[in-house]
Structure 1
Amino acid sequence: MAVTSFTEQQLVEMVDLARHSLLSAFGRCDEPDIPDWLSEPGACFVTLTSKGQLRGCIGTLEPRVALGRDLFENARRSAFSDPRFAPLGVNELQDIKLEISVLTPFSPIAADSEEALLAQLRPGRDGLIVEDGVHRATFLPSVWEQLGEPLEFISALRRKAGLSADAWSDQMRWYRYETQHAEAALVAK
């Protein structure tokens, strides 16, 4: 069973693990050891921003590997494998802020209409997943900061999944989750 509640100190240690994963990829430090307490399965996202703009974000929705390994690998994937961006360059390190989001297990939202879905959303708290056939996408709870209105949030999520902004079908499924997160500058200034 995945652990889904962490102390502030544990979150700081997790963001440090992600930082060191990236910095070691650039030869700036030794590859970090993954603490034993992160050996339980877990799911996380690692988000990189540069000067307030998204620079990479990769994660997992379901626990498949140890949370420490997921943090380590998603940090590197967000820097080097996010298809929306060129790989992170050494000249960018000073401007990068790194954020980790550790996910709770997701649960289905029973909604037979868009109105029913909107009535159940908890802005600022819910991460949301939409699935419709082969289409699937998620927004972390932090996306509410940019898309604060529930209809705007779900419309953008449907577009991210490759659907129309107002798509609705009986096959569409919605799921919610929450996160714990921590952030830090990649390189101390």
Structure 2
Amino acid sequence: MENHIIADPELTAADRAALLGMARATLAAHLAGRPLPPIPGVPGAWLKRGAFVTLYERGALRGCIGHIAADRELGSVVQEMAMAAARDDPRFAPVEPAELALIAVEISVLSEPVRLPMPVEPARIVVGRDGVIVRREQRIALLLPQVATEQGWGPEAFLAAACRKAGLLPDAWREPGTEVLAFQADVFGEPGEEEQGRRDG
């Protein structure tokens, strides 16, 4: 089931379908040790965007990896992150070939993150629309917009969770020296993708 948090005005339905199809074909090729499929020729694949790829198995999170910066073509980012989500998420063992038929793919295409002025006002974060990035020195964490909705968090709990993920104290978002950025995401998945599991990248 598709779940659009925001709609990227430059991504069409054909772009989304092509990116999902490529991600699925990339997983199949990667797990079988075959050459990867080509990047689709749709215009959206050549936009420079950050993106996360999330994998679900029977509705449960199976892997989620992303690239934040909008410095590479979206098709290449999605292809690389699809493989990384299957192989490199430290929370899970690598996906096995026998699991492929049970895997559903979801893609989150990120808008450009915007730094929130200090002191951060939680009311500036709209639950269900905004994702957050918390950064302090070498510590950084990102939570996708849909995480707050799934967990039933308000803005302050969302910020606290991002801080904990970064290895900071829950109230670190209030402190000078902690940078908080907000972004939105165009989220779309394969038919049958379950709205369960934490999509926290």
Q: TM-score, normalised by structure 1?
A: 0.87
**Of residues 11, 20, 23 in structure 2, which corresponds to 1:15?**
20
Alpha-carbon RMSD: 2.1
Shift of 1:139: 0.6
**Of residues 160, 163, 183 in structure 2, which corresponds to 1:177?**
183
Which is further off, 23-32 or 143-152?
23-32
Give the Cα separation in 1 of the matches to 2:71 and 2:116: 23
Q: Which runs of 5+ in 1 are unaligned?
A: none
Give the Cα separation in 2 of the matches to 1:166 and 1:41: 33
Give the Cα separation in 1 of the matches to 2:29 and 2:138: 36
Secondary structure of 1:65's partner?
coil
Structure possessing the higher relative contact order (Cα contacts under 8 Å, 6 or more residues apart): 2
Give the Cα separation in 2 of the matches to 1:61 and 1:4: 19
**Of residues 63, 87, 101 in structure 1, which corresponds to 2:94?**
87
Q: Which runs of 5+ in 2 are unaligned?
A: 1-7, 193-201
Give the strand-richer structure, 1 or 2.
1
Cα distance change, pair 86–185 in 1 and its aligned pair in 2 (3 A)? farther
Shift of 1:111: 3.1
Cα distance change, pair 22–185 in 1 and its aligned pair in 2 (3 A)? farther
Q: Is the 8 A contact 1:79 1:87 kept in 2?
A: yes
Give the length in aligned residue pairs.
181
Give the Cα separation in 2 of the matches to 1:147 and 1:110: 26
Identity among equivalent positions (%) equals 33
1:107 corresponding residue in structure 2: 114
Q: TM-score, normalised by structure 2?
A: 0.82
**Of residues 70, 79, 84 in structure 2, which corresponds to 1:72?**
79
**Of residues 132, 137, 141 in structure 1, which corresponds to 2:136?**
132
Give the Cα separation in 1 of the matches to 2:50 and 2:9: 9
Shift of 1:52: 2.1
Q: Is the 8 A contact 1:43 1:102 kept in 2?
A: yes
Shift of 1:67: 1.1
